[in-house]
Amino acid sequence: MTVRKALALVIGAVVCTGVLATGCAREHTGASSQDAHAPGSSASPAPRPAPPRSFPRPLPGIGPVMRERLPAGTRQALVVTGETESSSQARVVLYERYPAEGWRAVAGPWPAHNGLRGWTDDHEAGDLHTPIGVFGLSDAGGRLPDPGTLLPYDEDPQFSVSGTGYLGEPLEGSFDYVVAIDYNRVPGTTPLDKTRPMGEDKGGGVWIHVDHDGPTNACVSLSEEHMRALLTVLDPDREPVVVMGPEEVLSR
């Protein structure tokens, strides 16, 4: 064999080897790409970013201390917010709780009056303060017929009052509609029931009633229109409560 022929054979072998190697590489790469997306492949697509988390809205204006006192099953809360600890004027909003959304205002804000001397967390009979806290709303009544409430309603002529208030305003008609606040009383009885579980010295007969345009002894008062609206929306199945006190205390 001549040198020229030998050289030609070597060059041919190199070229053929390169072509075969290149073909295998392309075939192997293509198979890997298909396998990565084939069913049963261990490879997985890049993770999608997690959607932002949302949390149910807490009861507006109510801080963690007072929030802990809400019964677990409560889905209606009447929030009575005093301007200051010594103020006899307040603002009332009714909220309802929905599973995903949380608390939402459904009525109000309504103007209201409370005790002549404001608020206290240690109420005593005759101190002219409205007790601070979270209390059930379980019974209603009044001198006038039931306006359509779902609460037990006691229509009774004993819901009558006369005389004048602290500003000289007439009190007549103040108890045409009332909702008993479950402070020092037995739930499930008429608001007229005078049983005082904590004793007579801790007061009682604390109601939400018709406003007479002046401060109260200890009650919360709303206009007659707003009392009717409240009575028709309160639902015992929602375990309604009143959350009441001065703004600074409620927000703690």
Residue 229: give the domain boundaries.
64-250
- What the block records as the tokens of 192 is 């007229």
**Spatial contact of 95 and 104, defined as CB atoms under 8 Å apart:** yes
Using pLDDT thresholds of 50, 70 and 90, give the confidence band for residue 43. Answer: low
Render pLDDT for 111-128 as a digit per residue (tens, 0 to 9): 999 999 999 999 999 999
Q: Is residue 58 part of a domain?
A: no
Q: How far apart are CA 110 and CA 93, in angstroms?
A: 7
Whether the per-residue pLDDT at 34 is higher than 70: the answer is: no
**Spatial contact of 135 and 77, defined as CB atoms under 8 Å apart:** no
Task: State the pTM of this model.
Answer: 0.78
Q: How many domains does the chain have?
A: 1
Q: Is residue 2 part of a domain?
A: no
Q: Is residue 108 part of a domain?
A: yes
Between strands 89-98 and 76-82, the pairing is antiparallel
Q: Is residue 81 part of a domain?
A: yes
* Maximum alpha-carbon separation in the chain: 139
The percentage of residues in the chain with a pLDDT greater than 70, rounded to a whole number, is 79
**Spatial contact of 132 and 120, defined as CB atoms under 8 Å apart:** yes
Question: What is the pLDDT at residue 42?
Answer: 52
SS3 210: strand
Q: What is the mean pLDDT of the chain?
A: 86
**Spatial contact of 193 and 183, defined as CB atoms under 8 Å apart:** no
Residue 9 CA, chain-centre distance (Å), reads 90
Render pLDDT for 70-101 as a digit per residue (tens, 0 to 9): 999 999 999 999 999 999 999 999 999 999 89
Q: Is residue 14 part of a domain?
A: no
Choose the weakest-confidence range: 48-62, 130-144, 171-185. 48-62
HSE toward the beta carbon, residue 113, CA cutoff 13 A: 22
User: Beta partners for 178?
Assistant: 141, 209
Using pLDDT thresholds of 50, 70 and 90, give the confidence band for residue 55. Answer: confident
Q: Is residue 52 part of a domain?
A: no
Q: Is residue 95 part of a domain?
A: yes
Q: Comparing C-alpha atoms, which of 243, 224, 211, 249 is closest to residue 113?
A: 211
Whether the per-residue pLDDT at 205 is higher than 70: the answer is: yes
Whether the per-residue pLDDT at 174 is higher than 60: the answer is: yes
Q: Is residue 230 part of a domain?
A: yes
Question: What is the pLDDT at residue 31?
Answer: 41
